[in-house]
Structure 1
Amino acid sequence: MRDFITCLEFLTRVRFSKRTDWRDEDFSRSVPYFPLVGLVIGSLLAAVNYGLFYIETPLFLRVTLLLLAEIIITGGLMYDGFMDTAD
C-alpha cells in the first residue's frame, strides 16, 4: 500500500503522508502502480466531465475546464514534460 501511496503522491498533488525522506528505491517500487494511478486520475476527470455534461456546459467551456482540472490534479506534470521537450 505504501508503494501505491508513493506513486499517487508523485503523479498527483494529493498528499497522504508528511514524508520528507524520498529514496530512489521508493520510486522504483511504485512504478507498477502507474496504471492504477492513471485509472484514478481518469476516473476523477470522468466524474468532472459527467458533472459538466449534466449541467449542460457548452463544449468549449467543458473542454477548457477539463484541461484545467487535469492541471490541478496532476500539478501540470505531463505538460511540464511536453514543454521541456519543445525547448
Structure 2
Amino acid sequence: MALTILGVVVASLVVVTEQVGVKRRQLEQNLVASRLVKEATDQIALGKDQVALSRQGVRAQATRQGARAFVGNKTLVEIKGE
C-alpha cells in the first residue's frame, strides 16, 4: 500500500515538474517578445521607419503603424501605432 502511494506521489511530481518547465519556457519567451517589441518601438520613436529584431528564436517587426513579436506564425505580442 505504501509503495503504491509513493509511486503515485512520484508520478505526480514528475508530471507537475514537466508542466512547470513548459510554463517557465512560455513565460521566458513572452518576456523576450515584450522586450523586443519595446526595443523596436524605442527605435521607431527615435526616427527609424522600420525595425526588425531577433533574439532567442523570437522575431519582432515595427513600423509607425505598430509592432509585433512572433515565433513562426504565432504572434506573441502585438501593439498598434499611429
Q: TM-score range by the shorter chain?
A: 0.3 to 0.5
Bigger proportion of residues as helix: 1
Bigger proportion of residues as strand: 2
Answer with 1 or 2: which has the greater Rg: 2
What is the TM-score normalised by the length of structure 1?
A: 0.38
